[in-house]
């Protein structure tokens, strides 16, 4: 049931609501593998088959399958409830991960790798389910929901910062399949803990009628903005790794990228402490303007200073603008999604983000191969500017 918060919402007051600490702990366990599975699959497949092209194709297939399956999984969650839907969906995804592990280990034909990894597309959008719980618990409290969304975005950044590092450590220290195996165990354990917290679960909407979130006023431009923002992330990741490799510091590429996530995580937590002022549409435009203004910093560091530490500092500053933009955009998705279809609306936003990451990665790969890693830093600038243009052109929705 909804809770009234103190006049001044803090992170401590959020977690004073009964059940919130338990579902957050479970959700963080389940969310960490999202940053592990891709790296683990690449290390495992490339090490066994000797082909990064095959590893990349398998992970790209899984991403495409997720883009197709995620909205349907989220719709089932809205209709039948998180506990009834998320557990079997997670079980299928975990079986897909274990099947991939066995196929790689025992030298099964290449096509089995694609089939097994595609099965992981049923993984529920754990971040979306957590945000749906906050929306249910904080019904009508704009300031408290802003703080909760800020925490969730910071948690996303933290998991995507720690996940790849943990996966690389496990695969390199123990055995190539260790990252995938650990990720599967964490995912299933986290979902079981999360769904066991029935008191905070939003009620299902089995007879939901009305338009799809994609046809709701104001949602299409938000989805387009998420695609453009995803392109910022995808292109920045590839060109940064390529730049570090070209500079002879291949191992440092991941650490430099982690600075961007760290900056975003810190900014997200700070943004959540601030009281939101003015319409969310206007706040989103200001956040995207800041992101567009800061995104040229990595380009300047790479092109003028040619120093990896300078690039790291530039990424730290540039990353500080991404979390506030994501938090505000996700808040607008929550406000504009029809009642009873919140998980579906947020899943569409995440799917758009993944699509943008894939497009940005592909474009950055082409740019680094045909031009240079330094030239590739223009892509995040262009993507951030596109996100701002979409927000400026979109009409305000009551």
What domains are defined for the chain?
20-141+162-207 (no CATH), 208-398 (1.20.1250.20)
% pLDDT > 90, the chain: 29
pLDDT at 222: 92
Q: Specify the pTM.
A: 0.77
| Mean pLDDT, residues 250-270 | 78
Q: Across the chain, what does the average pLDDT equal?
A: 84
Taking only the tens place, the pLDDT of each residue in 162-207 is 777 788 778 878 888 898 999 999 999 999 999 999 989 988 877 6
- Give the pLDDT band of residue 36 (cuts 50, 70, 90): confident
Label each residue of the chain as H, E or C: CCCCCCCCCCHHHHCCCCCHHHHHHHHHHHHHHHHCHHHHHHHHHHHHHCCHHHHHHHHHHHHHHHHHHHHHHHHHHHHHCHHHHHHHHHHHHHHHHHHHHHHHHCCCCHHHHHHHHHHHHHCCCHHHHHHHHHHHHCCCCHHHHHHHHHHHHHHHHHHHHHHHHHHHHHHHHCCCCHHHHHHHHHHHHHHHHHHCCHHHCCCCCCCCCCCCHHHCCCHHHHHHHHHHHHHHHHHHHHHHHHHHHHCCCHHHHHHHHHHHHHHHHHHHHHHHHCCCCCCHHHHHHHHHHHHHHHCHHHHHHHHHHCCHHHHHHHHHHHHCCHHHHHHHHHHHHHHHCCCCCHHHHHHHHHHHHHHHHHHHHHHHHHHHHHCCHHHHCHHHHHHHHHHHHHHHHCCCCC
| Mean pLDDT, residues 10-21 | 87
| pLDDT higher than 90, residue 136 | no
- Give the pLDDT band of residue 360 (cuts 50, 70, 90): confident
pLDDT at 111: 93
| pLDDT higher than 80, residue 58 | yes
- Contact, 336 vs 397, CB < 8 A? yes
- Give the pLDDT band of residue 85 (cuts 50, 70, 90): very high
pLDDT at 249: 65
pLDDT at 215: 74
Q: How many CB atoms lie within 10 A of CB 252?
A: 17
Residue 346 has which token pair?
A: 């947020």
- Contact, 138 vs 316, CB < 8 A? no
């Amino acid at each position: 049931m909804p809770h009234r918060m103190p006049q001044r919402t803090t992170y401590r007051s959020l977690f004073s609501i009964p059940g919130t600490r338990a579902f957050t702990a479970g959700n963080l366990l389940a969310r960490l593998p999202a940053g592990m599975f891709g790296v683990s699959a690449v290390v495992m497949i490339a090490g066994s088959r000797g082909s990064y092209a095959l590893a990349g194709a398998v992970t790209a297939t899984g991403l495409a399958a997720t883009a197709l399956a995620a909205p349907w999984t989220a719709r089932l969650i809205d209709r039948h409830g998180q506990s009834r839907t998320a557990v079997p969906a997670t079980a299928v995804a975990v079986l897909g991960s274990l099947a991939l592990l066995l196929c790689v280990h025992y030298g099964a034909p290449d096509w089995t790798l694609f089939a097994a990894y595609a099965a992981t597309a049923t993984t529920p959008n754990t971040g979306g389910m957590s945000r749906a719980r906050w929306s249910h618990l904080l019904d009508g409290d704009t300031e408290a929901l802003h703080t909760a969304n800020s925490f969730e975005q910071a948690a996303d950044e933290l998991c995507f910062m720690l996940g790849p590092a943990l996966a690389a450590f496990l695969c390199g220290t123990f055995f190539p399949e260790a990252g995938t195996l650990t990720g599967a165990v964490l995912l299933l354990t986290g979902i079981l803990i999360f769904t066991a917290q029935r008191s905070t679960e939003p009620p299902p909407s089995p007879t939901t009628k009305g338009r799809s979130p994609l046809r709701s006023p104001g949602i299409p431009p938000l989805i387009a903005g998420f695609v453009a923002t995803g392109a910022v992330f995808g292109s920045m990741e590839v060109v940064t790794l390529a730049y570090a490799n070209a500079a002879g510091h291949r191992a440092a590429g991941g650490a430099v990228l982690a600075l961007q996530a760290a900056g975003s995580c810190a900014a997200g937590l700070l943004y959540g402490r601030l009281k939101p002022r003015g319409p969310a549409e206007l706040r989103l435009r200001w956040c995207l303007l800041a992101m567009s203004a800061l995104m040229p910093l990595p380009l300047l560091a790479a092109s003028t200073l040619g120093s990896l530490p300078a690039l790291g500092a530039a990424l730290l500053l540039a990353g500080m603008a991404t979390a506030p933009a994501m938090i505000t955009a996700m808040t607008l998705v929550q406000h504009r999604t029809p009642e009873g279809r919140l998980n579906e609306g947020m899943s569409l936003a995440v799917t758009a983000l993944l699509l943008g990451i894939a497009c940005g990665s592909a474009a950055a790969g082409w740019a680094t191969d045909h031009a240079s890693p330094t030239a590739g830093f223009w892509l995040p600038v262009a993507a951030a500017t596109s996100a701002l243009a979409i927000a400026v052109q979109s009409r305000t929705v009551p």
